[in-house]
Chain A
């Protein structure tokens, strides 16, 4: 279980590096898959396009989803995930710098499990990631995997 992957959907490399660092700082050793846009994320999750042939049984334990993404934006990705049986129950944490209320509301409405605003203060961000880890990776009992 500890070896299950965390998926990070993030177009900004800086943010990616900082997020990865924050995860590491919190001793999260899970493999991290990073995709740069919504389309890639969907391809990965549904094993299509670039990721065709990927084992569909290997689903991420947690998806960290940015909202502002090229091609397909985060909310759309979320909507598609929740619309599909196979990905409907995947824990998705929206991780964004947007403070817009409508994004927050829309995110929860589409079935996001959590919503974290990326603070500028890295220390705060690290704390937030720690909270994430505690809840989603340690405490949370994930839903049984499809087909298992």
Chain B
């Protein structure tokens, strides 16, 4: 049946006709075949039974006479019947008498006869038939036939039937093809028409009437319907056109309205000032803009849930309610009000509201201007102004303002207070009269120059001070304030009383002068003392030596000239006198040196200490050429200092080293430099007599000696002198030593 569904109507008709006729033919043919089959089987049985009857009769005698050979011959006649496959004769007792097999290879006949009758088994027709002679059974004949004949018959019948079916089908098809057109053609034509109508939306097309039967009526009805549709269509189109026009117009209007609304909505939303609309009766917020949301911290939803009273501090609500009563002008400004933000902070606002209508209800459009900062600035300005005013009045200085020509055009309170000039007196340039007559012209000149140049005015002088009834020193400064066009608007200036400062400065100057004088006096005194000291040491070196020279000289003269008159002991005494005199001379020399070191002027220069030490070493060696002393003097040691004084230092230190190694047969004296606490220390080391560290603090004292004069000659002033020189160079000297193991003297120079 599925075949019928998708096909065209002609296909369907053909299928119906064809399947109907085919079914009839097949049924008929099948009937014939079945009947023929049954008939032929019966024919086969009958034929086999007839043949068996004949053969049985022919065999009957042989059985009776047990003549197997005859029986065999009889059976052999069956060879003419190709469809007989097997035959057997059983005797009366049922024993197999003879057999016949068309083919020897087949199965043998059964040993005992089966019940009489035929049966179809395994493509075989088997028949047991009694052999009757004179109504007495003498044996049984068994015949087995194949069914080739039946098969052949069926095949030939089938072939014929097939041929008949095919032929009939062809014929039926031809007829069906021809006949169905008579029905399908008008239907197809109708279908085509309706397709055209639906595809082209062309309702003027008409179906062709082919026949006068029901299909014809259908075409007529279809055409009638089309006509109606066509008519309706025309009406509809007219209506549509009218509607389209209407819609177009409405769209246009809506677009214009929408754009305008959008514009206003956007204007409202993006307005930098917080805005909202509230219901005039319920006081509910109806719509709020972004700025309001941002400013107040409430979300849009929260806003729309609130009334305008909820953003006011409670104490303002009565006033608010009063102001929202009817009778107010449509546009009004009010405020300052205070609004509460979501975070609780109160802001001062100024309100502009306008009565309007929102969604058909009376409402107010509100713009809230936050004036908190402005008010704060105003208050601060006020405070600042007050402060300025009080500062000005509190100041001892005068602050003044003048017009572009430097004239007082307004009463200057601080000026009046200080100078005692009344406004009539100090107005204009009258103020100049408060300045000391000696300074007046000069100050006026400076002022005129500054005012002409429009530059900083700075002057000083004396001004009348009413309170103390005296002129006091002042400094004045003023700067011009310009208009946009660079012209001077006014001058603002100060006059500062610097009288006390001036006095203090004068005092300081005087004190400084005195101090300087004192210093000069002191210096002069010092210089005088120095000179005296110099003269003293000069005369000491000159005059103190003279008697010594006499003592020594005349002692010597005695020893030489009066040798014969002086005893040996007397000579010894005279020698002691001489030695003492000479020693005293040395002491005097050393003392002079010591004082000279302190007084001498320092001349700083670069000094090659290595070269200096080498030269001293050479001199020392010359004094005692026999001594075996090894000098180790480091190369390239230089220092900044006074060459003459440093020479004294090295003379003393190397001389000491030389002296105190005098009792050693071999000695070594070193001069070098060593690092100590980041500064370099010079050192002179010997391996001579050394000293006990316990007395090291006495080394550098004048006239302090650690050795007896008899052991080592000396005055005990050398190291004191050395220390003075080192100190004058800003350095330090110290020594290390051990008795009989030598001494090392270190010194630094700044």
Measured CB to CB, the residues of A under 8 A from B are: 12, 14-15, 17-18, 21, 67-68, 96-100, 118-123, 125
Main secondary structure of the interface of B (DSSP, over half): helix
Interface set, chain B 548-573, CB cutoff 8 A to A: 548-550, 552-557
B636 to chain A: closest CB distance in Å?
A: 30
Count B interface residues, CB 8 Å. Answer: 23
A123 B582 Cβ-Cβ under 8 A: no
Chain B residue numbers with a CB within 8 Å of A120 are 545, 548-549, 552, 581-582, 584-585
Q: CB < 8 Å: which of A17, A67, A97, A125 contacts B546?
A: A97
Say yes or no: B538 contacts A14, CB within 8 Å: no
Q: Is the C-beta of B494 less than 8 angstroms from some C-beta in chain A?
A: no
Q: Which 3 A-B pairs have the closest CB atoms?
A: A120-B585, A14-B550, A18-B553
Cα distance A53–B549 in the bound complex, in angstroms: 37
- Smallest beta-carbon distance A122→chain B, Å: 4
B542 close to A15 (CB less than 8 A) = no
Tell me the B residues contacting A by CB distance below 8 Å: 538, 541-543, 545-550, 552-557, 578, 581-582, 584-585, 589, 592
User: What separation, in Å, do the CA atoms of A122 and B549 have in the docked complex?
Assistant: 7
- Residues in chain A near residue B552, CB distance under 8 A: 120-122
A98-B542 CB under 8 A given contacts A14-B554, A120-B585, A123-B556: yes
**11 A-B contact pairs sorted by A residue (CB < 8 Å):** A12-B546, A14-B550, A15-B546, A18-B549, A21-B557, A97-B542, A97-B543, A98-B541, A98-B542, A118-B545, A120-B584
Which residue of chain A is the closest to B585 with respect to CB atoms?
A120
User: Contact check: which of A97, A100, A123 meets B545 at CB < 8 Å?
Assistant: A97
Q: How far is the CB of B706 from chain A (nearest CB, A)?
A: 26
Name the residue in B543, B546, B548 with the highest tally of chain A Cβ atoms < 10 Å from its Cβ: B546
Most buried by A among B548, B553, B578: B553
| Residues of chain A with a CB closer than 8 A to B592's CB | 99
Residue of B nearest to A68 (CB): B542
CB-CB under 8 A for A99 and B589, given A118-B545, A120-B548, A121-B582: yes
Per a CB cutoff under 8 Å, which of A17, A96, A123 touches B542? A96
Complex alpha-carbon distance, A68 and B535, angstroms: 12
Q: How far is the CB of A78 from chain B (nearest CB, A)?
A: 17
In the complex, chain B residues whose CB is within 8 Å of the CB of A17 = 553-554
Which residue of the partner chain, among A21, A100, A119, A123, contacts B538 with CB atoms under 8 Å? Answer: A100
A79 to B608, alpha carbons, bound, how many Å?
A: 38
Closest to A120 in B: B585
CA distance A99 to B538 in the complex (A): 8
Q: How far is the CB of B590 from chain A (nearest CB, A)?
A: 11
Residue of A nearest to B548 (CB): A120
Task: Taking A18-B557, A96-B542, A118-B549 as given, write out 20 further A-B residue pairs in contact, using a Cβ cutoff of 8 Å, ordered by the A residue number.
Answer: A12-B546, A14-B546, A14-B550, A14-B554, A15-B549, A18-B549, A18-B550, A18-B553, A18-B554, A21-B557, A68-B542, A97-B545, A97-B546, A99-B592, A120-B545, A120-B585, A121-B552, A122-B552, A122-B557, A122-B578
- Please name all residues of chain B whose beta carbon is closer than 8 Å to the beta carbon of A21 when the two chains form the complex: 553, 557
Q: Is there an interface contact between A99 and B541, defined as CB atoms closer than 8 Å?
A: yes
Tell me, rounded to whole Å, the shortest Cβ–Cβ distance linking A99 to chain B: 5
How many Å from the CB of B576 to the closest CB on chain A?
Answer: 14
